[in-house]
Amino acid sequence: MQRNNRKALAALVIAGTLALSACGGGAKPGKAAEDKPVDSLKFYNDKGGWKDAFTQVGAASKKDIGVGMEPVGYSDSNTYTAFIRSSFRTKEKADLFTWHTGKELQDLVDQKLVAETTDQWTKAVADGNVPEQLKQYFTFDNKQYCVPLNAGYWVMYYNKAVFKKAGITAAPTTWAELMQAADKVKAIGVKPFYQTNILFSFVWFETLLAGKDPDLYDKLATGKAKYTDQGVVDVMNEWKKMIDAGDFSDPGAKTEPQAQLKNGDVAMINFGTWFSGNLNTLKMKAGTDYDFFVIPNVNPSLPKTSMIFETGPVCSAAASDHASTVKKWTDWWLTPKAQTDWANSRGDLSFNPKAEVKDPGLSKLNKDVGGDGYRLINRWFEATPVPVANKALEVFGAFVTKPGDPMPGLQKIQAEADAYWAKQK
């Protein structure tokens, strides 16, 4: 679901060169192939840890529609990216494969390497199987490509025993209440929030900016605003204020975040809903040992709650030999039945609001985010161009380790952004 190391970012930069060769030579990646229906599809993915869940889904699809799915997982992002890029030049093009939204998906669309799915999206949205807000992340020139693999919504997990000891009787519903809860937790000697100086160093930047000025957040992602703009500087200073107040854990700690929450080293962790599965592996029980709440906006006057989310696509090569079987499988994949199986196999929710998720909290969230009260905000990691993200992660990691004047770091990020966006014109 989430890219979990810096190498993944580097892989996408390296793959930019591979992309040029992937559509060169005598290959004709966009040419339609002869359709050959089959009873099983290979599903290439970079989610090695999800092998069991994919296997369960493959068995379910075989039972439901007579088409099985065989997962072929890669644990190394560099290897996987290179394999997919090169596969478009071969006779055995990938029937199903995972990718990333944003610029990475646009690169494949621009080269006509992935199959269009506009009709599937139109029907899925009309049937209520996919929230309309998700469509924009799969849309290029008013057409849709691929279908969603997952949707992870970012919420605040908390240790219920710590909250009880601190005298917090209800989950915060406003930013002021969240800060009050942080003070109560500090009073009993527990750090309120988890923070890290490696990959997820961006989490509190996106939370503060999206919760304060979501329009600025979106403009920043598309090069229409600068990291040196006053609104961004204000967010960095607010972040520094929280760090100086002792609101965060040691960013260099080696203990896994789920263990920190279980041990009561931190009271709260700002993570995607996939984190429920991590906690469940430690025998923490949802609703008893831990729970979560929607993170309130920093700016209470915003008309909708900013909800950070991450999504990834399931794609198919445009010249797949098995196009009709792929469509049959992905049509099934979008249904409530398929998504119920998928969500519960991972202990997470689904992009389909109709999926019957066993975890009551996740089930409620799954239905709520399909309503009108939320503004979905693409996770910073997917929304930000790779070169800019590389530099920003360096800056954020240094900032949380030794906070100071944010402007020098923001200037470094903006210099990278200026160079990137200049090449896009």
Neighbour count for residue 175 (Cβ, 10 Å): 17
Let me know: does 300 contact 33? Beta carbons within 8 Å.
no
Neighbour count for residue 394 (Cβ, 10 Å): 16
* Residue range 176-234, pLDDT digits in tens: 999 999 999 999 999 999 999 998 999 999 999 999 999 999 999 999 999 999 999 99
Nearest to 173 by CA among 184, 181, 161, 165: 181
Task: Give residue 404's pLDDT.
Answer: 97
Task: Give residue 33's pLDDT.
Answer: 56
Q: What is the pTM of this model?
A: 0.82
| Blockwise average pLDDT, block size 10, the chain, 425 residues | 42 37 38 77 90 93 97 88 90 90 90 96 96 92 96 96 98 98 98 95 98 98 97 98 98 96 98 91 94 98 95 93 96 97 89 91 86 90 91 97 97 97 87
Tokens coding 148: 């969603």
* Residue range 251-288, pLDDT digits in tens: 999 999 999 999 999 999 999 999 998 898 899 999 99
How many separate helices (H) and strands (E) can be counted in the chain? 18, 11
Nearest to 122 by CA among 108, 97, 142: 142
Let me know: does 68 contact 96? Beta carbons within 8 Å.
no
Helix (H) or strand (E) holding 291: strand 290-293
Helix (H) or strand (E) holding 55: helix 51-65
Task: Give residue 47's pLDDT.
Answer: 87
Neighbour count for residue 69 (Cβ, 10 Å): 21
Let me know: does 144 contact 121? Beta carbons within 8 Å.
yes
Neighbour count for residue 409 (Cβ, 10 Å): 19
Task: Give residue 372's pLDDT.
Answer: 84
Neighbour count for residue 164 (Cβ, 10 Å): 10
Let me know: does 86 contact 78? Beta carbons within 8 Å.
no
Tokens coding 31: 């040419």
Range 6-149+312-356: architecture per CATH: 3-Layer(aba) Sandwich (3.40)
Task: Give residue 257's pLDDT.
Answer: 96
Nearest to 99 by CA among 310, 272, 309, 315: 315
Q: What is the DSSP string of 210-262?
A: HHH-HHHHHHHHTTSS-TTSHHHHHHHHHHHHHHHTT-B--TT--S-HHHHHH
Let me know: does 375 contact 295? Beta carbons within 8 Å.
no
CA atoms within 13 Å, Cβ hemisphere of 207: 22
Tokens coding 115: 């199959």
CA atoms within 13 Å, Cβ hemisphere of 6: 13
Let me know: does 332 contact 341? Beta carbons within 8 Å.
no
